[in-house]
Amino acid sequence: MSDPVVNAGGATAAPPAPPASAKPTPKPAAKPAKGETRREWWGTVAWTTFTASMIAMLLGTVRFLFPNVLSEPPNTFKGGDITTFEEGKVEDKFKDRGAWIILDRDEKNRRIIYALSTICTHLGCTPNWLVGEKKFKCPCHGSGFKISGVNFEGPAPRPLERYAVKKTDDNQVLVDKSKKYQKELGQWDDPDSFILV
Ligand code: FES
């Protein structure tokens, strides 16, 4: 303990306060060297590129493993109640799904329902059903097809193809586009290519 200080008048005085400790003044942050900044920038670019390519690769793998999951509609669909079809009338409302459904008479004069593909057998355009002329007409090069799908004018080399059809338990026409039938190969005789009504 320090002794009290006696001044000239004999009075005691408090010992001098110790000097206040000086606060350290913060040093300004060291500026990164120019080369270091550039290195960091290139590091970020490289990392971003790497991450992006990894994501792209992953998406490519998913697409490869599940090619049709999101992009294609299912191959089968119900085309309406069998009793609602009229003889000689083309049901056009499934054209955007790739098929016309028709009730008509075949070469043996049987009443049948069949589903025709909407792909022209020339170069793949989509023909239109012309009600007044009772024919399918391709807008690309003028091929014409009868209501049966048989080609009779223009460059199409063969009839339109049929899809598999069957009657469901609830009396609907079920179209299955995964199975096709070609007349020129004798496949229109296959009972899966039409429904007898
Ligand atoms: S694609 Fe139909 S006539 Fe050519």
Mean pLDDT of 12-28: 52
**42 lies in a domain?**
no
**52 lies in a domain?**
no
Pocket test for ligand 1, best of 117, 119, 121, 122 (most atoms within 8 A of CB): 122
pLDDT reading at 3 higher than 80: no
How confident is the model at residue 28, as a pLDDT? 59
Range of the domain at 164: 91-196
Compute the C-alpha angle 11/12/15, nearest 5°.
Answer: 150
What is the percent of the chain with per-residue pLDDT over 90, rounded to a whole number? 62
Give the pLDDT confidence of 69-114 residue by residue, as tens digits: 555 668 999 999 999 999 999 999 999 999 999 999 999 999 999 9
Residue nearest to atom 1 of ligand 1 (CA): 123
Half-sphere exposure for 26 (CA within 13 Å, toward CB): 3
**47 lies in a domain?**
no
CB-based burial, 2-15: b 16+ in 10 Å, e otherwise: eeeeeeeeeeeeee
- Residue 105 to residue 113: CA distance in whole angstroms: 9
**190 lies in a domain?**
yes
**127 lies in a domain?**
yes
Cβ < 6 A, ligand 1 pocket:
120, 122-125, 138, 140-143, 154-156
pLDDT reading at 168 higher than 90: yes
Q: Are 100 and 79 in contact (CB under 8 A)?
A: no
Our separate counts of H helices and E strands in the chain read 1, 13
**128 lies in a domain?**
yes
- The torsion angles phi and psi of 22, rounded to 5 degrees, stand at -75, 130
**51 lies in a domain?**
no
Number of domains in the chain: 1
State pTM to two decimals: 0.65
Residue 119, Cβ density class (10 Å: 0-12 exposed, 13-18 middle, ≥19 buried): middle
How confident is the model at residue 27, as a pLDDT? 60
**85 lies in a domain?**
no
CATH of the domain at 120: 2.102.10.10
